[in-house]
Amino acid sequence: MKKIVFTVLMTIAIGLVQAQMLNPVSWTFTAKKIADKTYEVHITASLQNTWHLYSQTQPTDAIAIPTEILFKANPLVTLDGKIKEIGKVELYKDQKLGISANQYKDKVDFVQKIKLKANVKTKIVGSVEFQTCDDKKCLPPTKVDFAIAIN
């Protein structure tokens, strides 16, 4: 009897650990110098097959949680313009629910242009909060912190 209870409990524990480890998005954070004191910060999401990530901007009928990128204030840096999304955006429509969403699959690159106030080394620190779904389920929103060296 003890062996059966132990086996059942271990099976449940392994299933819970595997569910918590589900992470279909990998992130990379880089900076590229494009001119004197001007850089592009690249926040790139690579998605596993069948998964998608939501755009920062959503249609009015969307219920999806949009991707949000926040930068902590840095007195040595100014943000230049809005964050651009580079990738193939898809408009998803669910006729049964009457909702739609702007989403990406495979890969999307969020690019923020920044300007340094002086020729110094510093860091861009912030976070990206996102939700990812496949055709069957959505994972809860996730927040990833980042720090990108600017040399």
| pLDDT the model gives residue 89 | 97
Digit-by-digit pLDDT tens for the chain (151 residues) are 544 444 444 444 444 444 456 899 999 999 999 999 999 999 999 999 999 999 999 999 999 999 999 999 999 999 999 999 999 999 999 888 889 999 999 999 999 999 999 999 999 999 999 999 998 999 999 999 999 999 8
- In the chain, what are the domains? 24-150 (2.60.40.1250)
Task: Give the C-alpha separation, 87 to 125, whole Å.
Answer: 23
Are the beta carbons of 67 and 129 closer than 8 angstroms?
yes
Tell me the CA distances in angstroms from 84 to 113, 121, 130, one per residue in order: 9, 24, 16
